[in-house]
Chain A
Amino acid sequence: MQLAGRVATITGGASGIGRATALLFAREGAAIALADLKTDAGQRVVDEIVQAGGRAFFESADVTQSADCQRLVERTIREFGRIDILFNNAGIIRRATVLDLSEEDWDRVMAVNVKSIYLLSREVIPYMQKAGSGTIINTASGWGLTGGARAAVYCASKGAVVLLTKAMAIDHGPRKIRVNCICPGDTDTGMLREEARQLGESNSSFLAESVKRPLGRVGTPEEIAQAALYLASDASSFVTGTALVVDGGGLAGSV
């Protein structure tokens, strides 16, 4: 077990990549503090972990709110005594050009995808400093490294995540806190189907486009979770400030 005795806080843990990561980290021995707005789905993930013999709790939290972040971290410390791993994974997408994008949607995407990382990290880092180590993993995106069509605010937010990751790695490396991000390509999650809906495309035509990459398929949440496990575990002890691209070759070049 690669995370025995560790405590992980995971945001956006009710579905998709967050859910797969919570289940994997729990199997690897970590206690899980799971946060999401989706209470029922989040509680089901926690139930699944507990039934399998793991330790976990669900906290309904809006990670764009400072008070919610504070409450989540306080409960994690109260119940598990420490935080070794913070997986900032909560994220949303709006598929629109800047012309079609409302100011409300801009603010919301930036708050969920970027500001939440700042809000939660500043609560968690003092505990990691006290413990003398810690690892923070942020979910960025392939579209944090290159642009995509009708995804202006998503690209802006994920580009910000990549550089926030590097800046935090520089600031907190001396205190043995590692900060990295993952840049997934299209992955089989609810967000992918939500994108098809927003673009007014059928799931099948959207998927046909998504599989156009060297490996010829979209990823599974479990495959992204394995990348998060690598970054969370001691196997990556010399890795910080990195953007780990997990995208079936999507960014390597055109097929």
Chain B
Amino acid sequence: MRLENKVALITGGTSGIGEAAAELFAREGAKVAITGRNETRGHAVMARILESGGRTIFLRTDVRKAAECQRAVDETLRSFGRLDILFNNAGVFFPQTALECSEEEWDLQIDINLKGTFLMSKYALGPMIAQSGGVIINNSSGWGIVGGDKAVAYCASKGGVVLLTKAMAVDHGRQGIRVNCICPGDVDTPMLPEDARMRGLDWKTYLTGCENRPLGRIGTVDEIAKAVLFLASDDSSFMTGAALVVDGGGTAD
């Protein structure tokens, strides 16, 4: 077990990549606090982890709100006594050009994807530094490295996440904190069919587009969770400030 005695806090842990990471981390021995805005889904994930013998809590949290981020960290410490791993995973996406994106939709994507990463890190860093070590993993995107069509706010937020990752790595490396991000390509999460629906494309056409990459398929949430596990574990002890691209070769060309 690669995360024995570790405590992890995962935002957006109620579905998709966050849910897969929560279950994998628990299997690897970590105690896992998961946050999300949907209580029903959160309790379902929690129940599954508890059933298989893991330890977990669900914390209803809106990562746009500083007080709620602070409370999520406090509750994790109260329940499990420490915090070793923060996976900033909560994210939303609306397919829009700058002309189509309303100010509210811009704020929503930037605040959840980018500001939420800042706020959660801000409150998690204190206890991590106090225990003289910790790991932060941020969920960026292939579209945090290259641009994509109809994705202005998302690309801006994810590009921001890549450089926020590097800046925090520079600031806190000497305090024993490693900060890295992952850049997934298209993955079988609820975000994908939702994107197809919002773009008005039928699923089959949309999926064919997604599969157009060297490995000829989309990724699974488990494949992304394994990348997060690598960055969370001591196997990556010399890695910080890196952007780990997990995209079936989608950004190789």
Contact = CB atoms under 8 A, between A and B. Distances in A.
6 contacts: A173-B213, A173-B215, A214-B173, A215-B173, A249-B240, A253-B167
B173 A216 contact: yes
A98 interface: no
B219 interface: yes
A223 B216 CA distance: 31
B46 interface: no
A92 interface: no
B143 to A, nearest CB: 16
The 5 closest A-B pairs by CB, nearest first: A252-B241, A214-B173, A173-B214, A241-B252, A252-B166
Interface in A46-102: none
Contacts of A220: 238
Contacts, number: 141
Given A238-B224, A239-B246, A252-B166, A226 B235 contact: yes
B219 A238 contact: yes
A9 to B, nearest CB: 22
A249 B241 contact: yes
A227 interface: yes
Contacts of B187: 238
B236 A227 contact: yes
B230 A230 contact: yes
Contact of B235 (A172, A229, A255): A229
Contacts of B185: 238
Given A170-B214, A170-B253, A235-B230, A215 B248 contact: no
Interface in A193-243: 213-216, 219-220, 223-224, 226-227, 229-230, 235-243
Interface residues on B, range: 35 or more
Contacts of B220: 238
Given A235-B229, A255-B174, 5 more contacts: A213-B173, A236-B226, A238-B247, A248-B240, A249-B170
Nearest to B235: A226
Contacts of A227: 235-236, 239
Interface string B223-253: 1101101100001111111111111110111
A255 B173 CA distance: 9
Interface in B155-169: 165-167, 169
Interface of B: 165-167, 169-170, 172-174, 178, 185, 187, 213-216, 219-220, 223-224, 226-227, 229-230, 235-249, 251-253
B170 A255 contact: yes
Contacts of A237: 223
Interface of A: 166-167, 169-170, 172-174, 176, 178, 185, 187, 213-216, 219-220, 223-224, 226-227, 229-230, 235-255
A51 B227 CA distance: 33
Contact of B174 (A187, A214, A226, A236): A214
Given A178-B215, A246-B236, A252-B240, A239 B173 contact: no
A239 B227 contact: yes
A226 B170 CA distance: 22
Contacts of B165: 252
A30 to B, nearest CB: 16
Contact of B226 (A172, A235, A247): A235
B249 A170 contact: yes
A249 B169 contact: yes
A187 B237 CA distance: 13
B177 to A, nearest CB: 9
A173 B249 contact: yes
